[in-house]
Structure 1
Amino acid sequence: MKQTDPLSPPPASFADRLGIPAPLFWGFVGLLFFMIGDGVEAGYLAPYLEGHGTSAGNTALLFTIYGVTVSISAWLSGPLSDLWGPKRVMWIGLAIWAVFEVIFLACGVAVNSYPIMLLAYSLRGLGYPLFTYGFLVWIAAATPPRQLGSAAGWFWFAFSGGLPTLGSLFASFAIPVIGEMATFWSSLGMVVFGGLLALLLTREPTGSQRLAAPGTPAKEIFFSSISILWREPKTFVAMVVRTINTSSEYAFLVIMPTFFTKVIGFTLSQWLQLLSIVFLSNILVNLFSGISADKFGHREVVAFGGGIGAAIMVPAFYYVPQMFPGNFMIAAIVGALYGASLAAFVPLSGLVPQICPKEKAAALSALGLGAGASTWVGPAIVTWFESWRGVEGIIWIFSGLYVASALMTMCLTISPEARRYLKKISEREKQKRAAAARGDIAEELSLSKQS
């Protein structure tokens, strides 16, 4: 009979071989469905509202204020996960999304009440970041350092796979069949299904526990998630880079539906399909960039693939379709390259916990704050600068911001102290796997407490 080396790790599961932490597998699946539901409206909410009497300025304001609440909630996901545990934070996020979506649709959109729409949509913005970034904190807390890049890639694969990729694709086929309003309502069912799938089937114990040390006061937890921005200035730089990352995406959701339907000549369904192609490319490159970062370096992938790549592809996405008006294939190719450039920023989610390995939740709160800020910074740039040079001026503002993000990324180095700490954690993880292989439960629990 074949003897097993007690010091060798147990055979890797299928999920682990893919780069997904096996205990969190259903969380990733549920996240995908949750974000499909959240992304259903992404490509057509703006033109729908404008087609039913809401001015372009009020539509941009709606998205801007929504983005502010998203930004606040994204920051809160870190300290609340430290205080209550990521899983409880995800439950709260799911409940908020569902309740205020009902109010938004039934009392706002259905009766064309802009004040109700503004209030309900803004408050609904507190929901999805608590769910999604709460899960990201859970990933950072429960994933070995050697797997963080791949796990971050899978997180953003599921995130952008739903918002707006598959969400917009679903809407493009659903609208002609069931109508725009019923398609809005279908998003609620998708979000609830995904949320329950993730929360009921994921039983990894770390997520159900308070992450902060016992006895740490709540005010200290919340303060540390802000003070880390000046205690560890690199987290502030990472936050700004993350804000720039998807700011153009949220701006484009405001200005590009009209640009492609009125200027380029696409139908609404073609625009939604184009949006799906853009982010299909994005989700595929999310995986590639996360895995590549584990091998070739996080900073290099973000700075050159993300910053420089997006600085080139944002103007291309505007100018090239005008050279070939009505040509869907050309627009799709350029759009796919634009989506790929945004995906190259994914390694930030693996890099930041390594910069501050002792304060992962606080560091990811800074990154979450940046991610949330992008949802209002993008529309705000539209609101502030569209009257200056129109869409073309906005395009060049974003191109310049991406160049700046590349320069800032090169400052995001991991200190020698952090490297020593990460090495210590990695060695302890190997010892835990060896103890598990030997069946030494006492040693495994002892090593877990030290972690």
Structure 2
Amino acid sequence: MTEQSLVVQQGLWARMGLPRELCWGFIGVFLFITGATIEQSWLSSMLQQRGFSPFDISLLSSIFGLCVAAISWFSGIGAGVLGLRRLMWVATLVYFIGSIPFIFVALPQNNYPLMVATYALRGVAYPLFAYSFLVWINQRCELRILGRAVSWFWIAFGVGMTIVGPWYSSLMIAKWGETNTLLSGFVFVLCGAFCALVLNRDRPNWQRGQALGPALLEGITVLAREPKMRLAVVVKTINDIGKFSLVILMPVYLPRFGFSIAEWLTIWGLVNVINIFSSYLFGWLGDTIGWRNTVVWFSGTLCGVASLAVCYAPVLFGHSELALFLALSIYAIGLGAFGPLSALIPSLLPQNKGAAISCLNLGSGLSNFAGPFIVTLCVGPLGVEGTLWVIAILYFAASLLTIPLRLPDNPQSPG
């Protein structure tokens, strides 16, 4: 750590994992994510009402997920090419370049090819912005508080995407309609950029000025050269598969047992609140007992158990909101235990954190694609129950695959 970084880590807020100089950045990420993902909980339903087939909607989501994965991988590399602040400004600009034709041309005209292209462009903005700030956190925070710091990042990210965005949308759509709701996201994005890049006066020391070609090549070759990085990408990809598959499976599965979609959405929103507290708890625990140990013992284990509990709670208890809530709560807690991965994976390659963070971000982005893809691949031959078993097995495997991810010897690393 540099002397400047050590100054940042002092005080009560720093001990909580929120260095004072970076607080505006966390607020900015929350606002940006809220605006940039405001449609994710209801876009599929809107397109279905407009006559688009499930295949069209699935293809749109798959292309979106692949673009998110690619740009997530690039964010760690791009930081060394353009610099963190410039990269986040680029993300803000790209959001508007994609959103304006998507909202004003593609959607009103039901122009599917343009919809796919502009929605994919709009979609690359939020990972580019958010994961660039994750690089910033890894660069600025001392190892002793890094687990808590990245947990705050995922809290800001999750609250914007899975709690405030859907809640705000439900109010806005009823009063002003889908188009105005999408347009109001512009305000959130601008406020987020202002907080993270104007009110946040911190200046990261991340090395800038690398050539794009060598930086991209290093981001690719590190996966071939470092077995731990390949494992890390797999584990991080499994991390969020449940989050992106349950939202597809549960609206199909639960009505068999008398649950309404409104009941499902209410329970899903409540368990995401639980995830906020579990994310910080496991961030603190990771700094205390080790990041790897926390992920190995709690993350995939709890998420795997929860996947089976979600499958059989309605079978055993019927239309019991409490049983379903408890099963999903276990999942939300386990999901929080994956948080220390965002401190662990960059620290596996301390001499090349940019490439390591690119691997971390690649896994984060691939979850957007892998979750729906697993459903598409498995739900036909295996049904919902069999698909949930596949998800459970993958989660159990994630805990086992984390065991070899040992940090290089460093007395300051809570590995």
TM-score in terms of structure 2 length: 0.91
Aligned length: 408
Cα distance in 2 for residues equivalent to 1:352 and 1:382: 27
1:224 to 218, 225, 232: 218
- Structure 2, unpaired ranges of 5+: 1-5
| CA deviations over 1:374-420 (Å, ceiling 9, x no partner) | 1011111222222212322221111111111111001100123xx27
| 2:132 equivalent to 1:138 | no
The 2-side partners of 1:22 and 1:91 are apart by: 22
1:342-361 superposed matches below 5 A: 342-361=335-354
Distance 2:97 2:190 in 1: 11
Q: Which amino acid counterpart does residue 232 of structure 1 have in structure 2?
A: E
Query: More deviation in 247-256 or 24-33?
Result: 247-256
Q: Does residue 362 of structure 1 match 2:358?
A: no
Residue matched to 2:364: 371
Compare 363-372 and 374-383 and name the one that shifted more.
Answer: 374-383
- CA displacement at 1:274 relative to structure 2: 2.5
Task: Supply the AA of the counterpart residue of 1:220.
Answer: P
Q: Which residue of 1 aligns with 2:3?
A: none
What is the letter of the counterpart of residue 376 of structure 1? Answer: F
Residues 92 and 361 (structure 1 numbering): CA distance in 2 closer, same or farther, change over 3 Å? same
Distance 1:147 1:385 in 2: 40
Name whichever of 238-247 and 383-392 sits farther off.
383-392
| Aligned mate of 1:397, from 372, 390, 403 | 390
Aligned partner of 2:240 in structure 1 is 246
For the pair 1:95 / 2:93, whether they are aligned, the reply is: yes
Superposed CA offset, 1:138-171 (max 9, x none) = 1111112222111111111111111112212222
Q: Name the structure 2 match of 1:77.
A: 75
Q: Which runs of 5+ in 1 are unaligned?
A: 1-7, 424-451
State the match for 2:402 in structure 1.
Answer: 409
Partners of 2:154 and 2:9 in 1: CA distance? 26
Q: Distance in 2 between matches of 1:19 and 1:11?
A: 8
Q: Distance in 2 between matches of 1:228 and 1:11?
A: 30
2:36/2:95 contact within 8 Å kept: no
1:310 aligned residue (303, 306, 321): 303
2 CA distance for matches of 1:364 and 1:157?
Answer: 19
Rounded to whole Å, the distance in 2 between the matches of 1:54 and 1:119 is 16
Mapped to 1, the partners of 2:96 and 2:265 lie a distance apart of 24
Q: Counterpart amino acid of 1:353?
A: P
Cα deviation 1:64-111 (Å, max 9, x = unaligned): 110100000001101110111111111111221223122222222333
User: Partners in 2 of 1:34 and 1:322 — Cα distance?
Assistant: 40
Max Rg structure: 1
- Do 1:38 and 1:162's aligned partners in 2 also have CA atoms closer than 8 Å? no
State the one-letter code of the partner of 1:35.
I
CA contact (8 A) 1:172 1:269 kept: no
Q: Which moved more, 1:406-415 or 1:378-387?
A: 378-387
Question: What per-residue deviation string (whole Å, max 9, x for no partner) do you get for residues 304-329 of structure 1?
Answer: 21111111111222331454454434
TM-score, scaled to structure 1: 0.84
Question: Residue 130 of structure 1: CA displacement?
Answer: 0.7
Q: CA deviation at 1:131?
A: 0.1
Range moving further from structure 2, 360-369 or 105-114: 105-114
Classify 1:173/1:338 alpha carbon distance in 2 versus 1 (closer, same or farther; 3 Å).
farther
